[in-house]
Amino acid sequence: MTTQENDILIECPKEYLLKLLTGKWKPCIFRYATQGPVRFGQMVKLLPEATRQGLTNALRELEESDILERRVIKLKPLHVEYHLTELGLEFIPIFKAIEALNLLPVRKNQPLHS
Amino acid sequence: MTTQENDILIECPKEYLLKLLTGKWKPCIFRYATQGPVRFGQMVKLLPEATRQGLTNALRELEESDILERRVIKLKPLHVEYHLTELGLEFIPIFKAIEALNLLPVRKNQPLHS
DNA sequence: TCAATAAGTCAAAAAATTATGACTACTCAA
DNA sequence: TTGAGTAGTCATAATTTTTTGACTTATTGA
């Protein structure tokens, strides 16, 4: 834990939770995880712009925040599944609230001819 | 706009909006702004751990994302007020969802004797 | 004219996050 | 014993975010 998170903790105890879900790949992974258990290689395929390292980091952080649980499945080619925890389930309404917004993420600096 | 935001835009159009509210000081400022217009000096006092530069950056970014509107009040000592925009108002339910969570942000690495 | 108040700006450094590209570890089946 | 599949690690580099600390601008009242 860093000073940064500590500061937010003091000022905005609840908003601190937001930090647990932010980062370049965490929101994407989280959303996939709400559909069912996800696997590393699956994420590599579904998020082709992400690097292995980036996904590993995101998965580790979600695991450390107790949002995902890592389960090794001792089967034929050896699997590892990440499941939403009870805590993880509690974050779903936040994403529901985001999805309820009927806004398109309009970007201000769009290229004129795209 | 950076490549990073663009990537998230592609993968998770809605979650992209989350990015507009993240950063070290933006969530705090946003929440104060939901209580009424906020001023620069007020934030300096309310968020003593933040630097002027940090607050300026956060306010500018919220302004550029069209979440806050900057209004110069030509009064006695010259004021500048930041108001939530219509877009800004639409983010409130997300914070309501966060506040509805009855979780304490329990930290795993708390000091043993605090 | 001078100081006070409000709202900043600026260049540089430090810290945190993310990317690169090669390499590892385990299991199983041929 | 060799190769294929899955799930990574590792050291380093690049990029982005945040901090530092001094400086600026505009208005006003004494």
Q: Residue ranges of chain A with pLDDT lower than 70?
A: 1-10, 104-114
B37: containing domain: 20-93
Q: Quote the pLDDT of residue B16.
A: 84
Residue B27 located in a structural domain: yes
Is residue B108 a part of any domain in this protein? no
Whether A73 maps to a domain, the answer reads yes
Residue A3 forms part of a structural domain: no
Q: How far apart are CA A96 and CA A114, in angstroms?
A: 31
Q: What torsion, rounded to 10 degrees, do the Cα atoms A57, B98, B7, A23 define? A: -30
Q: How many domains does chain A have?
A: 1
Band (B14; pLDDT cuts 50, 70, 90): confident
B107 has pLDDT over 60: no
Q: Provide residues of B within 8 Å CB-CB of chain A.
A: 1, 4, 7-19, 21-22, 24, 27-28, 31, 47, 49, 64, 66, 87, 90-91, 93-101, 103-105, 107-109
In a domain, B32, yes or no: yes
Nucleotides of D under 7 A from a protein CB: 5-11, 15-22, 26-29
**Could you tell me the CATH number of the domain that includes residue A86?**
1.10.10.10
Q: Distance between CA A15 and CA A28 in Å, rounded?
A: 19
Please name the residues in contact with A14: beta carbons below 8 A apart, sequence gap of 6 or more.
B95, B98, B99, B101, B105
**How confident is the model over B16-30, as pLDDT tens digits?**
888 889 999 999 999
Instruction: Tell me the pTM.
Output: 0.87
Q: Which residue has the higher pLDDT, B53 or B3?
A: B53
- In this model, does residue B58 exceed pLDDT 80? yes
Which member of B64, B91, B103 has the closest CB to residue A17?
A: B103
Mean pLDDT of B77-95: 94
How big is chain B, counted in residues? 114
For residue B12, tell me if it sits in a domain: no
- pLDDT score recorded for residue A90: 95
Instruction: Return the residue of A nearest to B50 by Cα.
Output: A7
pLDDT higher at A77 or B66: B66
Residue A35 is assigned to a structural domain of this protein: yes
